[in-house]
Chain A
Amino acid sequence: MDVFLQTLVAGVLKGGLYALIGIGMTLIMGVMGIINLAHGQLMMLAMYVTFVLNAMGVDPYFSLFVAMPLLFLLGVAIQKFLLNPLIKADTILPENQVLMTVGIGMALTEIVRFIFSSDYKYITSTYSNQTFFLGNISFSMALTIAFGIAIAFTVAMFFFLIKTDLGRSIRATAQDKDAATLMGVNTGRITVITFGLGSGLVAAAGCLLAPVYYIFPDLGGPFTAKAFIITILGGLGSTVGAIFGGVTLGLAESMGATYFGMEYEDIIGLTIFVLVLLFLPGGFKRLTKI
C-alpha cells in the first residue's frame, strides 16, 4: 500500500509540473494553430535565468518574477518579429511558422551553449533536498511547492481566459480568427500576447523545475516532446485539458515505472498518446467540453 501511495504522490506532483509545461504550448496551439517546437528551449532559457539569479543569491522561486516577464517579452518579440512576418510571406510550405520555431529552438540552444558551455549546472537551495512525511509517504518540499504554484497558475489562467476581455479575445481568436477580426478583435496583437503568455508560463515551469533537476543546453528537446504529448492528451487549446493531460502523463509514468519498470517510462507515455489519438481524437477536452 505504501508503495502504491508513494507512486501516486510522485506521479501527481510531477504531473502538476507537466501541466504547467503543457499549458503554454496548448495556448499557443489553440490561438495560432501551430506547434511551438521551441517550447522546451524557452523553458531551458528560463532555467538559465534562474541559475544566473541564483548565483547572485536570488531564491529560485523569487526568480519567477524576473524570468516570467523576461520570457514574456522574448515571446512577444519572437511572435512579432519572427513569426508574424511569415504569415504574409507566400511560400510552398504553409507550416513555415512551425519550421521557424524549430530554428528558434536550435538558435536558443546554441546561444546558451556559447555562453554557458555544455557543462551541467545545478541549483542547490536549502529545500532542494528537503522532505516532509505524512505517515510513511515522503513529499519532496520543492516538488510540492512547485505543484501548488503550477495549479495556482493554471487556475488563474483558466479564469483569465473565461472572465477578462483579453481572455475572451484570445478564446475568440482561437475559435475563429476571421470572425474575431470582423468583430473588431485585433488578432495580430492577440497572437503576440498569446505567444508571450505561453513563454511566460513555461518560464514558470522552468523556475520550479530548476531546483529539483539540473540544467544543460540540450534539455529543451525532450521537454518540447513532453509538452506536445500533454497538449494532444488534453485537447488542443484547452487549459483544463492541459491539467488533465499533465497529471495523466505524470501518473502514467510513475505507475508504469513502479509496476512495469522505469525503462518503459517513455513507452508508456507514448502508448497513451497513441491510444488517445485513436480513440479520443480531441483529447480530454472532448469529455469536459471546456
Chain B
Amino acid sequence: MKGTVGKAFVVAAAILSLAVAASTGFAAETVKVGVLLPLTGSQAKFGEIEKRSFEMAAEEINAKGGVNGKKIELLFEDDTGKPDVGRSGMEKLISREKVPVITGGYSSSVTAAAAPVAQRFQVPFVICTGSADDITEKGYDYIFRINQFASEYPNAVESFLKEVAKDVKTVALLYENSAFGQSSSKSFEEDAKRLGLKIVVKEGYQAGAIDFKPILTKVKAANPDMIYMVSYVMDASLLMRQSKELRINPKMFVGGGAGFTLPEFAKSAGDAANGVFSATLWIETLPFPGAKAYFDKFKKKYGSETEYHGAEAYAAMYVVADALGRAKSITPKDVREALTKTDMKTAFGPVKFISYGKKTQQNKLDTYLVQWQNGELDAVWPKSAATKKYIYPTPPWDKRK
C-alpha cells in the first residue's frame, strides 16, 4: 500500500513532467522494461526485496544517463505467486505495454508458466530467480537465466562432504512440496547416491505447516548423520526450533537454499539457528565488484536487509540495461541478439549466457556454503571464499551453552 502511494506520486510526477515537456516542446523518451514479480501473496516479501533492487539499479543507471540517453522505465506486474496470474501478467506486458524485454520471474512455478508466453510472442525474458531446472532445458531461444538452477544448489555442500565431513554416511531429506522443493530434493538424491550417502528418511511437507513434529519424530528415530532441508524462511525457522525441542542431534544441519540464509531465520529461530549450514547463491562478502556496495546501499536506502534474491534482481537490471545499450534497435529481436553476446561482471557474479549440460542460454556460477555462528552468517566453504572457519560437527543441543 505504501508502494501504491509511492506509485500515485510517481504517476503524478510523470504527468507533471509530461505537461512541462509538452509545453517546452520536448518529449522525454523512455525504454520500457517489464518486470514480473510476486508483489502480493505469501511470496510478497521476496518480491518486494527484488522490486526495490530493480528500482535501485534503474535509478543508478538513469542517473548515469540511462540507456543511450533514454531513461529506463520499469513496469511491474504482480504475479501474486500464482502461475495463471503470472501468465496473464506476461501477456499484458507484451501485448498491451509492448515492452521490448522482460525480467524478474520469482517462483519456479510462475516462471515456468510465464516463460512459454514470452517464447511464443518472441520477447526476451531474462529470469533472475525462478530456478526449476527445466525452464532452460526446452531450447527456448528467448529465455535467459542469470541465476543458478535448483540442481546446482548443493554443489558447495557436495565438495564439503567430500573433503571435510567424510564421516557423514546417512541423511534425512526434508523438502517443501513445491516445484522448487521437489526439483531440489530430486537432484540432492542423485548427488547423495553419487557420494555414497544413504537416505534414511525422505519427507515432503506443505509450506506453512504449524507442526513438523510428526516428520521430525521419524527423523529422530532414524538418527541420521546429516539433515538436509529445502525450505522457505519461516518453515525453516520452525523446523529448527522443533528439532531443538525434540533434541535431534545429527552431525550437521544443512539448509538447501531459499530460507536458511535470511536474517529473519536467525532472529526467529533464536539459538536454534546456530551451527546450521546452508548452501547459498550469494552473500555480500563474496569478491564481486559492487556486491558489498549494493548490500550497504540497500540497507541505507530502505532500512531493511537484502539477500541473494535482491542481488539477483539488481544484477538482472544491469544485464538488461547493458543489452539494451548494445542492441541495434530497441526491438525484442535485437535485444535478444544483444543478450546472447552478454559478457559482464555484476554484483551477483560474472554473467555470460552459455549452453552446458541440457541447458541453453544459462549463466554458470558457483554456489557457496555458509554457516550461522552466534547469530552471524559467514561464508565457510569453498576455502577461496571463506571468511570464517567452519564448526563441524555441530555440538548436541544439551551440550550447548
- Distance, CA A114 to CA B4, complexed state (A): 10
**Contact among B48, B210, B264, B270 with A117 in the assembled complex (CB-CB below 8 Å):** B48
In the assembled complex, B160 has its CB within 8 A of some CB on chain A: no
Residues of A within 8 A of B209 (CB): 262, 265
Instruction: Check B204–A129 contact: CB distance below 8 A.
Output: no
Please provide the chain A residues from 125 to 166 with a CB less than 8 Å away from any CB of chain B in the complex.
128-131, 138, 140, 143
Interface with A: B241-249, B287-295, B358-366, which one?
B241-249
Return the chain A residue nearest B204 by Cβ. Answer: A263
Q: DSSP majority for the B interface?
A: helix
Instruction: Check B214–A257 contact: CB distance below 8 A.
Output: yes
Closest CB in chain A relative to B274 CB, distance in Å: 12
- Distance, CA A214 to CA B238, complexed state (A): 9
Q: Which of A214, A219, A262 has the most CB of B within 10 A?
A: A262
Given A2-B221, A3-B221, A131-B245, residue A254 in contact with residue B264 (CB < 8 A): no
- Distance, CA A113 to CA B48, complexed state (A): 12
Closest CB in chain A relative to B366 CB, distance in Å: 29
**Contact among A2, A17, A124, A258 with B215 in the assembled complex (CB-CB below 8 Å):** A258
Return the chain B residue nearest A259 by Cβ. Answer: B214
In the assembled complex, B389 has its CB within 8 A of some CB on chain A: no
**Contact among A122, A261, A266 with B237 in the assembled complex (CB-CB below 8 Å):** A122
**Contact among B1, B48, B215, B245 with A110 in the assembled complex (CB-CB below 8 Å):** B1
Given A122-B267, A216-B42, A262-B204, residue A3 in contact with residue B48 (CB < 8 A): no
Given A6-B217, A262-B204, residue A14 in contact with residue B1 (CB < 8 A): no
Q: DSSP majority for the A interface?
A: helix
- Distance, CA A128 to CA B270, complexed state (A): 10
Instruction: Check B245–A140 contact: CB distance below 8 A.
Output: yes
Contact string against A for B residues 260-282, beta-carbon threshold 8 Å, 1 for contact and 0 otherwise: 00001001101110000000000
Closest CB in chain B relative to A73 CB, distance in Å: 24
**Contact among B213, B233, B272 with A10 in the assembled complex (CB-CB below 8 Å):** B213
In the assembled complex, A222 has its CB within 8 A of some CB on chain B: yes
Residues of A within 8 A of B88 (CB): none
- What is the number of residues of chain B that contact chain A, defined by CB distance less than 8 Å? 41
Return the chain B residue nearest A226 by Cβ. Answer: B210
Instruction: Check B206–A118 contact: CB distance below 8 A.
Output: no
Please provide the chain A residues from 260 to 277 with a CB less than 8 Å away from any CB of chain B in the complex.
261-263, 265-266
Closest CB in chain B relative to A207 CB, distance in Å: 15
Residues of B within 8 A of A214 (CB): 234, 237-238, 268
Instruction: Check A129–B213 contact: CB distance below 8 A.
Output: no
Residues of A within 8 A of B217 (CB): 2-3, 6-7, 10, 258
Given A3-B217, A120-B45, A258-B218, residue A263 in contact with residue B2 (CB < 8 A): no
In the assembled complex, A212 has its CB within 8 A of some CB on chain B: yes
Residues of B within 8 A of A122 (CB): 234, 237, 264, 267-268
Given A113-B1, A140-B245, residue A266 in contact with residue B206 (CB < 8 A): yes
Instruction: Check A262–B234 contact: CB distance below 8 A.
Output: no
Given A114-B1, A131-B245, A138-B245, residue A263 in contact with residue B40 (CB < 8 A): no
Return the chain A residue nearest B232 by Cβ. Answer: A120
In the assembled complex, B203 has its CB within 8 A of some CB on chain A: yes
In the assembled complex, B41 has its CB within 8 A of some CB on chain A: yes
Closest CB in chain A relative to B310 CB, distance in Å: 14
Residues of A within 8 A of B44 (CB): 113, 118, 218
In the assembled complex, B211 has its CB within 8 A of some CB on chain A: yes
Residues in B lying within 8 Å of A, measured CB to CB: 1-2, 40-42, 44-45, 48, 177, 203-206, 208-215, 217-218, 221, 233-234, 237-238, 241-242, 244-247, 264, 267-268, 270-272, 304
Q: List 22 A-B contacts (CB under 8 A).
A: A3-B221, A6-B246, A10-B211, A117-B2, A119-B45, A120-B45, A122-B264, A129-B245, A129-B270, A129-B271, A140-B242, A213-B238, A214-B238, A218-B40, A257-B205, A257-B214, A257-B215, A261-B203, A262-B205, A262-B209, A263-B203, A263-B204
> In the complex, given contacts A129-B270, A129-B271, what are 18 additional A-B residue pairs having Cβ atoms less than 8 angstroms apart?
A3-B221, A14-B211, A131-B246, A140-B245, A209-B210, A214-B237, A218-B44, A254-B213, A257-B205, A258-B214, A258-B217, A262-B203, A262-B206, A262-B212, A262-B214, A263-B177, A263-B205, A265-B205
Shortest 3 CB-CB contacts between residues of A and residues of B: A114-B1, A263-B204, A257-B214
